[in-house]
Amino acid sequence: MSRGLNKVMIIGHLGRDPEMRYTPSGRPVTTFSVATNRSWTTTDGERRTDTEWFNVVAWNRLAEICNQYLSKGQQVYIEGRLQTRRWEDANGTRHTSVEIVANEMIMLGERRGTEEEDYNHADSLEDEFPF
């Protein structure tokens, strides 16, 4: 039996503040968007830049951490898996959405909140992620 791999790693900036809500069973879920940029030079020597937006979903304790510590514009590292959701709205229109289900998050760039909170939070995340 062969195994598959579904792993995504991005570094980018939050496009909006995280939004946390709870499922009917009480599980916290937080959603936010992250923009990544890439630059390249065309064969004509012209410099180009492209921005790609990713919808990110975090669950449980990571959802609470993302909601508490992240804010619009902040740089962040996200690791997780791609998931495709399909649904039909009230009018019968079918929709599809691809999102990253996060299992790791590291805050990059400037720290937010109090120094002590950020220090303790960063330590706990760095223990999980060795670089």
pTM for the whole structure: 0.76
In the chain, what percentage of residues exceed pLDDT 70? 83
| pLDDT confidence bin for 2, thresholds 50/70/90 | confident
In a domain, 131, yes or no: no
- Give residue 52's domain range: 8-123
CATH number for 41: 2.40.50.140
Tokens 């991005």, residue located: 10
Q: State pLDDT tens for residues 99-123.
A: 999 999 999 986 555 444 444 444 4
Q: What is the pLDDT of residue 111?
A: 58
On whether the CB atoms of residues 106 and 125 are closer than 8 A, the answer is: yes
**Structural domains counted in the chain:** 1
In a domain, 67, yes or no: yes
In a domain, 1, yes or no: no
**E strands within 18-91?**
19-22, 28-41, 47-59, 75-88
CA gap 74, 100 in Å, rounded: 18
In a domain, 117, yes or no: yes
Answer yes or no: is pLDDT of 76 > 50.
yes
